[in-house]
Amino acid sequence: MAAKMERVAKPQMPTEAAQAHRFGKARTAQSTALLEDYVELISDLLASSGEARPTDVARRFGVSHATAIKTIARLKREGLATSKPYRGVFLTQEGEALAERVRARHRLVVDLLVAVGVPPDCAEADAEGIEHHVSDVALDAFRHFLARR
């Protein structure tokens, strides 16, 4: 008896414009993710110890001192941070506001992941990537889902 072959429909390709928009959104999220992580960490260091030295930032990210200095310089160019000789890095009002938004987004993503059964340690780690790519529409849906529980 011959096996019946089923035809599987090929998935529809999105339009070029739609696909370009999606990939563009992902590239933008990737380029801002690093800055968001840095301002969040600097804010946390300032809150916990009163200072955020480039050496501390480098250690926490597991990168070289030179890499941390390069990214901190980018934060300064973007108007998110300032520094003082022998005093470390400080966030501008804009930098602190960004850190607060990133922290809130991270917390929301963690809360959703835990709510659907992801263990807390795994949710914390996974949120580090997801938080930079999730849209405001998805975040609102997460908020509504969690509020209904």
Per-residue pLDDT of the chain (149 residues; tens, 9 = 90+): 555 566 777 778 877 776 666 666 666 666 689 999 999 999 999 999 999 999 999 999 999 999 999 999 999 999 999 998 888 999 999 999 999 999 999 999 999 999 999 999 999 999 998 998 899 999 999 999 999 98
- With 0-12 CB in 10 A as exposed, 13-18 as middle and 19+ as buried, what is 132? buried
In three-state secondary structure terms, 77 is: helix
pTM of structure? 0.78
Measured in residues, the chain has a length of 149
Q: How many angstroms separate the CA atoms of 67 and 57, rounded?
A: 10
56-65 as b/e: b if 16+ CB within 10 A: bbbebeeeee
The owner of tokens 């941070």 is 81
* Structural domains of the chain ordered from first start: 29-148 (1.10.10.10)
CA atoms within 13 A on the CB side of 47: 9
Q: Which of 117, 99, 108 is nearest to 141 (CA)?
A: 108
